[in-house]
Amino acid sequence: MLKGIPASSGIAIGKVFLFLEEEDLSIYPRSLSQEEIKNELRRFREAVSSVRQEILQTKDKVLRSLGKEHSRLIDAHLLILDDPLLTRDVPKKITSSALNADWVVYEVTEKVIKTLETVEDSYFRERTEDILALRRKIVRYLLGKEKTFLINLPGNAIVVAHNLAPGDTVNLKEEKVIGFATDVGGRTSHTALLAQSFEIPAVVGLKNITRQVRNGDTLIIDGNEGVVTVNPDDQTVKIYQEKLKEYLYKKEELQKLVKLKATTLDGRSINLAANIERPEEIELVLHYGAEGIGLYRTEFLYLDRIDLPSEKEQYENYLKVAKNVYPHSVVIRTLDLGGDKLFPQIAELKGISLTERNPFLGLRSIRFCLRYPEILKVQLRAILRASVEGKLKILFPMVSRIEELHQVKKILEETKQSLREENIPFDEKIEIGVLIEVPAAALITSLVAEEVDFLSIGTNDLIQYTLAVDRGNENVANLYDPAHPSILRLIKQIIVAAQRASKWIGTCGEMVADPVFTIMFVGMGINGLSVPASVVPKVKKIIREFSYSEAEKLAEEITSAEDKKTIEEIAQKINEKYS
């Protein structure tokens, strides 16, 4: 049994189709004469042009299969082709070093890859795979090698590969592949995002699965747990066949709740919304019966590109979401960029260093916005303009000082005034809120509440900062503990402060999907929960199976516990009931 990263939920049982691009791409430095340099530059330009055409064909496939929004995933590769790394650095080095193009492409890209591998954030580590994939394509054309394609696959195939490019993932759908597993990749990779959209069970980040399987091996993919079983015995196959039946049955049963409200047995209603990162997820939001969007992470508009998104582009993006979700509301989190979440080209555009010693404690999120208010103002203008077509709300993240809130409110008012002067309509009563996700803000929730219309608890970062644990660091990831007594008591303190100020409060972290914490949050008096769209039916079912009075008792019991063992015992009883 191999453990990896669950990239797309579901279970698949089938036969391995090993997809390896191991053709000989060996390259060596070769000196060029002055006459040969000109021809080498031409060969390089032609190779890049050929790769561009190949990518554009893939983009067209994605466009036809998924629509415009998903086709932007392919744009990341096109943007790299237009990066100075290839348009300037490679030709310059071919000329100055008088060496062959394939060798220079390798050397120049290798330097960038080594730099990105030192960045802690998984998003940037995954981008090295994009550069590696493009390097391979370019070198293949320079060496005159043919590409292998995922076509004419046998039925019941599970693809196993070192990595899959977005175009390969599109082919998986067309070939009716039932699952896939890769050596590399993460939850934010383009391949994972496409797999989720195609609802293909997938596990990534398995490190060396390509070395542990052969064509025709039986494989079980458990995309729910991130587990892969190679050549299972009959008993294991039987167990997973039952799990698959149960998974599909539960999924079907949960769909029956789509049109029902998230209401406890004694009539307390909870606003159950969904988290999204891209507009194409709206279809899932509606399919699973979420009551609006409780968290729209907008920073993905700023990544995988060489420029900043324009006001027009953002306006059209927010407008589409607002219209499709209406009459429900959409909470738009302002960009959470900085340090570990800033695409290198934009960093270069603004002259920002990507080498902060601790980016999680550096120039990120609201601090970044206050340092570069012109970027924030463009986003605020787009949100305000779109607000006349739906129910939009603005959520400011990572606030740690009341002065930051005063500053950002001033910027918002300046933006509103500029629209008034231009006679551009917007919702004058648009609500603003703060994402409570650092201990400093949690401890002054009562002061923050006086300045805003609503509050939301961002449990992911709140846990990380409170416990001083980087959950992306495998050496301390086991210490990232939502059930730590300090976390539970801090959350209760935040909710009580919001209630005393008569302010609406919700929460939007991964913690909410756990039955124990679903009940606990309701018992503490939370007004709204926001979870991934696919989790909405599960959380709704749990809410509809207990009373508010029961939840209050659990919340009191769990927040009064003085040690982890007691909390675990309480959690075990709840999980047994709602598993």
Written as tens digits, the pLDDT of the chain (579 aa) is 899 988 888 999 999 988 876 555 667 788 999 889 999 999 999 999 988 888 888 777 776 666 665 666 677 778 888 888 898 999 999 999 999 999 999 899 988 888 777 766 656 666 777 888 888 889 888 877 655 556 667 778 999 988 886 566 666 766 678 999 998 876 656 567 667 767 789 999 898 898 898 888 999 999 989 999 999 999 999 999 999 999 898 888 989 999 999 999 999 999 999 998 888 789 889 999 999 999 999 987 886 566 789 999 999 999 999 999 999 999 999 998 764 455 555 555 556 555 566 667 877 889 989 998 999 999 999 999 999 999 999 999 999 999 999 999 999 999 999 999 999 999 999 999 999 999 999 999 999 999 999 999 999 889 989 999 876 554 676 788 899 999 999 999 999 999 999 999 999 977 888 889 999 999 999 999 999 888 899 999 999 999 999 999 999 999 999 888 899 888 888 877 765
| Active-site residue flag, 369 | no
Structure tokens given for 273:
């919304």
- Which residue shows structure tokens 């190949």? 54
Please tell me the predicted confidence (pLDDT) of residue 575. Answer: 79
Structure tokens given for 70:
């998903």
473, 75, 34: which is closest to 301 by C-alpha? 75
Please tell me the predicted confidence (pLDDT) of residue 339. Answer: 44
Instruction: Outline which parts of the chain fall under CATH 3.20.20.60.
Output: 263-578
3-state class of 434 per DSSP? strand
Please tell me the predicted confidence (pLDDT) of residue 563. Answer: 87
Please tell me the predicted confidence (pLDDT) of residue 425. Answer: 97
User: CA–CA separation, 399 vs 377, rounded Å?
Assistant: 17
| Active-site residue flag, 508 | yes
Instruction: Outline which parts of the chain fall under CATH 1.10.274.10.
Output: 22-143
Taking CA atoms, 153 is separated from 100, 157, 162, 197, 445, in Å, by 37, 7, 18, 21, 57
Structure tokens given for 510:
């991964």
Please tell me the predicted confidence (pLDDT) of residue 45. Answer: 92
Please tell me the predicted confidence (pLDDT) of residue 302. Answer: 81
User: CA–CA separation, 328 vs 391, rounded Å?
Assistant: 7
- Amino acid letter for position 298: T
Pairing of strands 202-204, 218-222: unpaired
- Please tell me the pTM assigned to this model: 0.71
362, 373, 290: which is closest to 335 by C-alpha? 373
Residues 6+ apart with CB under 8 A from 92: none
Active-site residue identified among 77, 162, 190, 328: 190
CATH homologous superfamily of 22-143 equals PtsI, HPr-binding domain (1.10.274.10)
For 104-185, list the strands marked E by DSSP: 157-161, 179-182
Laid out side by side, the sheet with 202-204 consists of: 2-3, 227-230, 218-222, 11-19, 157-161, 179-182, 202-204, 5-8
Helices (H), 402-514: 402-421, 439-443, 445-449, 459-467, 485-500
Pairing of strands 329-333, 293-297: parallel
User: CA–CA separation, 261 vs 269, rounded Å?
Assistant: 7
CATH homologous superfamily of 263-578 equals Phosphoenolpyruvate-binding domains (3.20.20.60)
